[in-house]
Structure 1
Amino acid sequence: MRDKLLEVKNLKVSFRTYGGEVQAVRDISFDVYKGETLAVVGESGSGKSVAAQSVMKLIPMPPGQIKSGEILLNGIDLVSKSGKEMEKIRGKEISMIFQDPMTSLNPTMKIGRQITEVLAKHQKMSSGAARARAIELLKLVGIALPETRMNLYAHELSGGMRQRAMIAMALAANPRLLIADEPTTALDVTIQAQILELLKELQAQLGMSIIFITHDLGVVANIADRVAVMYAGQIVEVGTVDEIFYDPRHPYTWGLLASMPDLDTDNSTELMDIPGTPPDLMNPPKGDAFAPRNRFALEIDFEQEPPMFQVSDTHFAKTWLLHPEAPKVEIPEAVRRRMRKLATNYDKPLLAEGGRHHG
């Protein structure tokens, strides 16, 4: 039995606005095991980033509020921790890398100084030891000439190098959990592949767990062990990466798969879209939130919220289609075509041999 590093139980997070209360995360539960990567996927506004930031208690309070639930890191509940106590946990136990490093790196401080400050605070290193370790970290994340680039500001680095520098800073205190919130969205596809490969290599070397937040299912195929699919503030399906890609059970997951471009997509390839828009979380709908966009919706979907049905020991989906008395629904052919394509494409390495270079 694998050890759990993180347990999130019945988490509810809301934001108070002038228009009312936005129920951003609505009663979600998930675990992260030691040494694994859990990908959390969903459209913009699905609650995935709010859930991740709640783990580190980074949501602004007010207007944000953790209404209820537990966030257990090695059995210790973070929800009850004060801001001062969380400062000791952030960086040391849990680190985060963001979509845009320019909003996270200090533009007035050299890259090396930003990393050595983390080392001095959490590892209690002397200035000389911190500098040597910072150079090691920059080398570890694939930045050439680290001694020189220590002395550069963020704006003097390319986008790929800034992201690598931010990863180095996040790893400085040897965190047990790394949260990566859309870390490759702003990068071109070649640099994106390099950063994903880098995260996999670092995880293997350091043994840390990763929560990888993304709106793009294609990105997770080569990095995740398990996948949680979020919609309208809830987890609607969770399973191993193979279960989500090759045996998806929720119609929303089908839509995400069918609308996902792959390595061979061109202008002539037809992608299936998900009709409609996500619901207003100020007034969440009755029943299944996905029902208005779901062409397989049953009458009960508009009346009663489905429970999580168990598909296997590791696979669960929140859809009435899994009820024993529900009519049998075949996975749409567009989804099957995508699954067959994925089976071919994602057996290939992200980068061909010799294709790596520093971004």
Structure 2
Amino acid sequence: MEKILQVKDLELSFNTFGGEVKAIRGVNFDLYKGETLAIVGESGSGKSVTTKSIMRLLPDHSAEFKNGEILFGGRDLTKLSDKEMQKIRGKDISMIFQDPMTSLNPTMPIGRQITEPLLKHQKIGKEEAKKVAIDLLRLVGMPKPELRMKQYPHQFSGGQRQRIVIAIALACNPQILIADEPTTALDVTIQAQILELMKDLQKKIDTSIIFITHDLGVVANVADRVAVMYGGKIVEIGTVDEIFYNPQHPYTWGLLSSMPSLDTEEAKLYAIPGTPPDLLDPPKGDAFALRSEYALQIDMEQNPPFFKVSDTHSAATWLLHPDAPQVDPPATVIERMKKFPGSRYYEGGAI
């Protein structure tokens, strides 16, 4: 598959009054043409900062690239000027933000907001831009698009506003679409509709999507591959089936165990103990070690490298070292692993 984006050894810090916050600490991943890569983890794990660094939307006065590259179209985005990035944002790489109400200008009709990137990047006339905008509204399932073009954001429901934001993001047929928790502010019924819409649109326009979320249930429905982030690092990456049914990192075990399901008894719902690390003073070894009942002595002293599980799956945990003791994950995770061919718990059958 063709690589459309490569993030290599990315390190980024914020300079604050309290000191240097090491927000991104050596992140590596590739994005392939036409795929959806989900990045998951708790709040503060570095998901949004990673994607905003790709868009170069972080404040220049406090955010600083310390190391690494973000390669897109043969260019390193970390080295581009603001003027050069303005030609890429909205045209080649677009972003859907969490809250559609704050993403839209309340003083402008939505038709004007959709045509704005078309006029800036596509170099087409106003009438043609208007036709494209109407087609986009129709594409995202907006009824009576010609009438809606003249209306303002407050005249739409939350789900409709998110459809408008998606239409704006898709206006210039971007190669990469970054969706930063796009369904968080919506109720579950509308959330399902927006997720279905994004899956449908991806097939139609063949864009690559980076989907940021803390909701693993959402991931199962939209992603091809999943990267699990913790403490400013990716700790495990693999296909959606590998992450859900053959997870290897204790943090991934904790996330999966804390997912409610129809079989879960409320009293038994798991919660990961402790809190994420202070990135003003990151831990010396594995950042998750202090919260993990599976931590080894070496976890306190050395940061684990990535160990290969399969051609598409790797995890940064010392538990995968040949000399590590064999430990069993939580019972809920073992039940998942029984369905995965290649897992040591596999019992046959389909996922």
TM-score range, shorter chain: over 0.9
Change (3 A) 1:108 1:339: farther
Q: How many residues align?
A: 342
The Cα shift of 1:335 comes to 2.3
Change (3 A) 1:340 1:112: farther
* Distance across 2 between alignment mates of 1:145 and 1:269: 48
- Determine if contact 1:120/1:130 at 8 Å carries over to the other structure: yes
The Cα shift of 1:341 comes to 10
**Do structure 1's residue 51 and structure 2's residue 57 form an aligned pair?**
no
Q: Which runs of 5+ in 2 are unaligned?
A: 341-349
* Distance across 1 between alignment mates of 2:110 and 2:13: 35
**More displaced 10-residue stretch of structure 1: 75-84 or 92-101:** 75-84
* Distance across 1 between alignment mates of 2:337 and 2:273: 20
**More displaced 10-residue stretch of structure 1: 108-117 or 71-80:** 71-80
| 1:112 aligned partner | 111
- Determine if contact 2:245/2:333 at 8 Å carries over to the other structure: no
The Cα shift of 1:75 comes to 2.1
- Determine if contact 1:272/1:334 at 8 Å carries over to the other structure: no
Q: Deviations over 1:122-157 (max 9, x none)?
A: 111111101111000001001111111111111111
Identity of aligned residues (%): 66
**More displaced 10-residue stretch of structure 1: 267-276 or 315-324:** 267-276
**Do structure 1's residue 82 and structure 2's residue 81 form an aligned pair?**
yes
* Distance across 1 between alignment mates of 2:129 and 2:264: 48
Q: Tell me which amino acid in the other structure corresponds to 2:46.
A: G
| 1:238 aligned partner | 237
Pick one of 310, 314, 317 that aligns with 2:315: 317
* Distance across 2 between alignment mates of 1:341 and 1:60: 45
The Cα shift of 1:332 comes to 1.2
* Distance across 2 between alignment mates of 1:35 and 1:309: 27
Pick one of 287, 299, 302 that aligns with 2:300: 302
Q: Tell me which amino acid in the other structure corresponds to 1:99.
A: Q
The Cα shift of 1:265 comes to 6.2
Pick one of 288, 291, 295 that aligns with 1:290: 288
| 2:94 aligned partner | 95
Q: Tell me which amino acid in the other structure corresponds to 1:315.
A: H
Q: Tell me which amino acid in the other structure corresponds to 1:279.
A: P
The Cα shift of 1:336 comes to 3.0
- Determine if contact 2:286/2:300 at 8 Å carries over to the other structure: yes
Q: Tell me which amino acid in the other structure corresponds to 1:303.
A: E
Q: Tell me which amino acid in the other structure corresponds to 2:249.
A: H
Superposed, 1:7-46 pairs within 5 Å as: 7-46=6-45
- Determine if contact 2:41/2:213 at 8 Å carries over to the other structure: yes
Q: Secondary structure of the residue that 2:284 maps to in structure 1?
A: coil
Q: Deviations over 1:308-351 (max 9, x none)?
A: 11111110100000000000011210323466799xxxx99xxx
* Distance across 2 between alignment mates of 1:213 and 1:66: 21
Give the TM-score taking structure 2 as reference length. 0.95
**Do structure 1's residue 158 and structure 2's residue 153 form an aligned pair?**
no
Superposed, 1:119-158 pairs within 5 Å as: 119-158=118-157
Q: Secondary structure of the residue that 1:300 maps to in structure 2?
A: helix
| 1:247 aligned partner | 246
Change (3 A) 1:58 1:244: same
* Distance across 2 between alignment mates of 1:158 and 1:315: 40
Q: Deviations over 1:21-48 (max 9, x none)?
A: 1111101010000000000000000001
The Cα shift of 1:239 comes to 0.2
Q: Deviations over 1:170-206 (max 9, x none)?
A: 0001100000000001111111111111111110000
* Distance across 2 between alignment mates of 1:66 and 1:94: 20
The Cα shift of 1:269 comes to 6.0
The Cα shift of 1:102 comes to 1.5
Q: Tell me which amino acid in the other structure corresponds to 2:113.
A: Q
The Cα shift of 1:261 comes to 1.9
Change (3 A) 1:114 1:271: same
* Distance across 1 between alignment mates of 2:263 and 2:150: 42
- Determine if contact 1:99/1:184 at 8 Å carries over to the other structure: yes
Q: Secondary structure of the residue that 2:254 maps to in structure 1?
A: helix
Give RMSD over aligned pairs: 1.7
Q: Deviations over 1:46-102 (max 9, x none)?
A: 001000000011111111111111000122111111000000000110000000011
- Determine if contact 2:244/2:336 at 8 Å carries over to the other structure: no
* Distance across 2 between alignment mates of 1:53 and 1:326: 37
Q: Which runs of 5+ in 1 are unaligned?
A: 349-359
Superposed, 1:162-241 pairs within 5 Å as: 162-241=161-240
Q: Tell me which amino acid in the other structure corresponds to 2:37.
A: L
Q: Secondary structure of the residue that 1:79 maps to in structure 2?
A: helix
* Distance across 2 between alignment mates of 1:323 and 1:165: 48
* Distance across 2 between alignment mates of 1:256 and 1:49: 18
Q: Tell me which amino acid in the other structure corresponds to 2:62.
A: P
| 1:352 aligned partner | none
Q: Deviations over 1:207-229 (max 9, x none)?
A: 00000000111111011000000
* Distance across 2 between alignment mates of 1:188 and 1:175: 28
